[in-house]
Chain A
Amino acid sequence: MDCREFCDQHLAFVDDTLAGIELVRMQRHIAECESCAKHDAKIRRSLLLFRNLPSIEPSPDFSARLEVRLRHCKEEQLAMTHQNLRRGALAAMLASAIMLGYIGTTLFNQGAAPRDMILPPVIASVPESDFTAITTSAPAIVTSVSAGLTFWPAALFAEQVPVRFAHSKLELTNYTR
């Protein structure tokens, strides 16, 4: 065992919680190493001093003072319990009053003669549509427009495309003749 290991295990050595073999190794190290033996003695002596410090006793009026404080504490707790009970009772009374009122009005309404309900006349009008239907011969083009374009420009473009192709076709025929 080296001094470092001795220091690491010194806490358990002083507290007497080391296993048998370790304890023997520590004792052997103390017998061999003067520095560690000094360290061990220094720690043990200081602990002995601290453990032998005289115990202090509570002052004579400690119990009386505590008794007074406890009595206050009990009174506070009791007052709080009463307050809570009072609040609970008040809330219950309020809830009962509301409930009774509700039941009373319901019963009163039921007792009254039933009347036919007159509803206001309903006026309905069909809104005029501003939009014209898209007439395209090739709806497949509209659906194949990429997702990056907004729908209406793409639809209009699709509507005009076959017309342009038709015009160019006519002009071509004129030139050849």
Chain B
Amino acid sequence: MADIVRKQAVSVEVSTVGERLQAMDDSAVVTAFLGGEERAFSELVTRYQTRLLNFVYRTIGDREKAEDLVQEVFIRVYRHLHRFDRSKKFSTWVYTIASNLAKNELRNRSRNPLVLFQTVQKNSQDEDRPLQFEDTTSRPDDMYRKRHLREIVEESVAKLPEHHRNVFILRELEGKSYEEIAEITDCNLGTVKSRLNRARNSFAEIIAPYVD
């Protein structure tokens, strides 16, 4: 009986800590982690894993590699969180790490021309994971059209130059401000605006024949 009561008390404590962490902003969660609360790190992982995965995946086009890179991001965050300047935004720091890792991956890949962006993207999506784009209630032809459209959009993004694509994804998918993008990509504000404008125009040009 005492055991059951103790277990219940522990579970209540865990849930309250979890709830408290969920209610905190990033900065407070980071402070909690540095103060010795290990569960705070899990909260950070929960908050950022999907966002980072989408960002890295759209940048490099390889889902498996994107997962590996996101894990690497969290490992680096874990190792170096004590060095993080808490006067700055945590999300900007995390995205900077992810962006640099994605950039390195693309650089390594460019040295090995056998791996192509589109090839990797197609293979990883068609074989390894179920499609989430389709609604099972849709008609087959509708499903095909949607799937085809998604592939076209992803291929069009992949055709953008790397530095344009990076800015484009950060702005359009992650909703980052120009200032944050400038900090993440280590560029000035003017460069960010110019790259974003060019990326939008190029993307619209590439995709126009398919959607008109």
For the complex, what is the distance from the CA of A90 to the CA of B197, rounded to whole Å? Answer: 61
- Shortest CB-to-CB span from A55 to chain B, Å, is 6
Q: Which residues of B sit under 8 angstroms from A47, Cβ to Cβ?
A: 172, 200, 203-204
What is the chain B residue whose CB lies nearest that of A45? B211
A42 to B131 Cα, complex, angstroms: 28
If over half of A's interface residues share one DSSP class (helix, strand or loop), that class is named, otherwise mixed; here it is helix
B133: nearest chain-A partner, CB-CB: A54
CA distance A79 to B47 in the complex (A): 30
Most buried by A among B58, B67, B149, B208: B67
Contact partners of A77 in chain B: CB under 8 A: 79
Shortest Cβ distance from B153 into A: residue: A49
Contact A51 B173 (CB under 8 A): yes
Query: In the complex, which residues 35-92 of chain A have their Cβ closer than 8 Å to any Cβ of chain B?
Result: 42-43, 45-47, 49-51, 53-59, 62-63, 65-66, 69-70, 73, 77
Chain A's nearest CB lies how many Å from the CB of B29?
A: 16
Instruction: Give the total of A residues in contact with B, Cβ under 8 Å.
Output: 26
Q: Determine if B172 and A54 form an interchain contact, defined as CB atoms under 8 angstroms apart.
A: no
Contacting residues, chain B, for A50 (C-beta < 8 A): 153, 157, 172-173, 203
Is the pair B45, A66 in contact by a Cβ cutoff of 8 Å?
Answer: yes
B residues near A (Cβ < 8 Å) are 41, 45, 49-50, 53-54, 57-58, 63, 67, 70-71, 74-75, 78-79, 129, 132-133, 149-150, 153-154, 157, 172-173, 193, 196-197, 200-201, 203-204, 207-208, 211
Which residue numbers of A lie inside 8 Å of B, CB to CB?
10-11, 14, 42-43, 45-47, 49-51, 53-59, 62-63, 65-66, 69-70, 73, 77
